[in-house]
């Protein structure tokens, strides 16, 4: 049983100051702030491929886990922060959305065994007995060492608490309304039933959010209904709910370093880690669509069957290479997937190799099965274009998540009252 403790005065002061100023020393997204933190997973207990979401009325445990490179263990702290529908901190105080203490500890850890790369594996079953969210909505979980100063933050992870009040029906239209999108784009039509839940103007109180394959850069926020009926809202647009069809995710199987799976060219053992070289990739811009099941960009951390993945799974620098005749002049090329939390940052940005005529990058990854795509981020843009490398196909089986948020008049926070996922063409 985890020891109950009094909330430190320093934490209360820091959290209050940050809440007032909205000047937190971290970003409200999935991110690691310490180079030693690796392989962060946050999901329902026993369901690694599902998003960290639970029902407020019937809460199920979420499991947060991560590795800390090295052999020096510590007890870490964490807290949660309630957020708006678009991931800005709410105006609520912790006592309004937390039952229990506003800070708790992560004491469950084990040292790695028989690995080239030493690390400590941490686990947290959430909610704990000491800290329980009591409102629906978006939340950010923050893990830190002793206090929430900038140099003590380890990681942040988003999760959601839903209070299902609205029914959601969604589909990918057989024929997009814009003829130019035929055979390429996905157009979503959404219906939200709200009988007995809403009383005032839904244009102001309801926010619809749509995400594709876990990506944040191309998510659609603040969508207003196209039609309002007595008991439902509909979202039927020509442009506003259109996503690139893209292509099925590329993949590689790195569950074992004893053999080379289909996509692995070579495996090298170094002093402190492995190196895995993937076979060179090629552009699929003009290739025909090929149906190939994928994980919709996710990763599945798993070592060999005779290994305990949490503490015996090892690490490797994985080398990616995409053949490309000349360097881009209008943007940068990125690796996209859960293997880097779908982040378009310096770690996932590829560099051009003039001698080999292609883009290359390396990511430090734990044994497992991984999905990824290549995307181009134009100068000044925030949404990566995957179609320029991967092609654009209506047949692609993308996963979509639709969320309905409701701000009751007179309140200052967004409730998550509807959550629905679907896979196109299934």
Tokens 């390429």 map to which residue? 184
State pLDDT tens for residues 148-179: 999 999 999 999 999 999 999 999 998 899 99
Higher pLDDT, 419 or 200: 419
Q: How far apart are CA 399 and CA 188, in angstroms?
A: 12
Q: Answer yes or no: are the C-beta atoms of 372 and 339 closer than 8 Å.
A: yes
Q: How far apart are CA 259 and CA 228, in angstroms?
A: 58
Tokens of 312: 């015996």
Tokens 């109180």 map to which residue? 205
Tokens of 106: 């992560």
Q: Answer yes or no: are the C-beta atoms of 171 and 191 closer than 8 Å.
A: no
Q: How far apart are CA 361 and CA 376, in angstroms?
A: 14
Model pTM score:
0.92
Please name the helix (run of DSSP H) or strand (run of DSSP E) that holds residue 131, with its range, or none.
strand 131-133
Q: Answer yes or no: are the C-beta atoms of 34 and 154 closer than 8 Å.
A: yes
Taking alpha carbons only, the member of 305, 308, 361 closest to residue 332 is: 361
Q: How far apart are CA 171 and CA 308, in angstroms?
A: 40
pLDDT band at 197 (very low <50, low <70, confident <90, very high): low
State pLDDT tens for residues 300-356: 999 999 999 999 999 999 999 999 999 999 999 999 999 999 999 999 999 999 999
Residue 4's pLDDT is 38
Structural domains of the chain, ranges and CATH numbers in brackets = 9-162 (2.60.40), 167-245+398-423 (2.60.40), 250-390 (no CATH)
Tokens 């991967």 map to which residue? 390
The whole-number average pLDDT for the span 253-279 is 95
pLDDT band at 86 (very low <50, low <70, confident <90, very high): very high
Q: How far apart are CA 377 and CA 312, in angstroms?
A: 37
**Terminal Cα-to-Cα distance of the chain (whole angstroms):** 44
Q: What is the separation of C-alpha 175 from the centre of its chain, rounded to a whole number of angstroms?
A: 29
Phi, psi for 100 (deg, rounded to 5): 115, -155
Please name the helix (run of DSSP H) or strand (run of DSSP E) that holds residue 397, with its range, or none.
none
State pLDDT tens for residues 204-247: 889 999 999 999 999 999 899 999 887 899 999 999 999 999 99
Q: How far apart are CA 292 and CA 366, in angstroms?
A: 24
Q: Mean pLDDT score of the chain, rounded to an integer?
A: 92
Please name the helix (run of DSSP H) or strand (run of DSSP E) that holds residue 79, with its range, or none.
strand 76-83
Phi, psi for 3 (deg, rounded to 5): -70, 130
From residue 264, alpha-carbon distances to 41, 202, 275, 341, 351 in Å are 24, 52, 11, 22, 20
Which residues, other chains included, contact 329 with Cβ-Cβ below 8 Å and sequence gap of 6+? none
Residue 229's pLDDT is 86
Residue 12's pLDDT is 45
Question: Which residues partner with 140 through β-bridges?
Answer: 81, 158
From residue 139, alpha-carbon distances to 2, 104, 421 in Å are 23, 16, 19
Helix, strand, coil percentages (3-state) for the chain, rounded to 5, are 10, 40, 50
Question: Which residues partner with 187 through β-bridges?
Answer: 242
Phi, psi for 168 (deg, rounded to 5): -125, 130
The whole-number average pLDDT for the span 79-107 is 96
Q: How far apart are CA 204 and CA 222, in angstroms?
A: 10
State pLDDT tens for residues 44-82: 999 999 999 999 988 789 999 999 999 999 999 999 999
């Amino acid at each position: 049983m985890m020891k109950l403790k009094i909330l430190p005065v320093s934490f209360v002061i820091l959290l209050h100051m940050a809440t007032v100023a909205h000047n937190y020393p971290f970003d409200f997204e999935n991110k690691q702030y310490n180079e030693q933190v690796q392989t962060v997973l946050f999901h329902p207990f026993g369901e690694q491929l599902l998003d960290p979401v639970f029902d407020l009325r019937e809460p199920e445990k979420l499991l947060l886990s991560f590795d800390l490179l090295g052999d020096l263990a510590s007890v870490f702290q964490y807290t949660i922060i309630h957020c708006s529908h678009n991931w800005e901190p709410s105006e609520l105080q912790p006592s309004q959305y937390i039952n229990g203490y506003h800070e708790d500890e992560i004491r469950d850890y084990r040292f790695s065994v028989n690995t080239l790369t030493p690390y400590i594996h941490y686990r947290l079953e959430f909610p704990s007995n000491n800290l329980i969210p009591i409102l629906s909505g978006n939340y950010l979980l923050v893990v830190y060492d002793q206090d929430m100063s900038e140099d003590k933050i380890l990681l942040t992870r988003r999760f959601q608490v839903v209070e299902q009040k609205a029914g959601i029906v969604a589909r990918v239209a057989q024929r997009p309304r814009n003829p130019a999108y035929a055979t390429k784009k996905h157009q979503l039509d959404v219906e939200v039933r709200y009988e007995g839940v809403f009383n005032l103007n839904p244009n102001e109180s309801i926010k619809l959010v749509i995400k594709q394959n876990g990506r944040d850069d191309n998510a659609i926020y603040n969508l207003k209904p196209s039609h309002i009926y007595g008991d439902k809202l509909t979202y039927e647009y020509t442009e506003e709910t259109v996503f690139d069809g893209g292509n099925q995710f590329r993949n590689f199987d790195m569950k074992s370093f004893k053999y080379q799976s289909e996509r692995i060219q070579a495996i090298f053992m170094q002093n402190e880690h492995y190196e895995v070289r993937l076979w060179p990739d090629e552009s699929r811009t003009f290739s025909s669509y090929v149906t190939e099941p994928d994980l919709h960009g996710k990763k599945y951390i798993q070592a060999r069957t005779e290994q305990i993945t949490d503490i015996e799974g090892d690490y490797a620098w994985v080398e990616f290479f995409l053949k490309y005749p000349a360097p881009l002049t209008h943007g940068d090329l990125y690796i996209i997937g859960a293997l880097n939390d779908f982040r378009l940052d310096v770690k996932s940005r590829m560099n051009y190799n003039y001698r080999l005529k292609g883009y290359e990058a390396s990511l430090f990854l734990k044994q497992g099965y991984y999905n990824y795509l290549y995307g181009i981020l134009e100068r000044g843009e925030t949404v990566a274009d995957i179609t320029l490398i991967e092609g654009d196909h209506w047949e692609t089986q993308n996963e979509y998540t639709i969320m309905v948020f409701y701000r009751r008049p007179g309140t200052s926070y967004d409730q998550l009252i509807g959550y629905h996922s679907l896979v196109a063409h299934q």
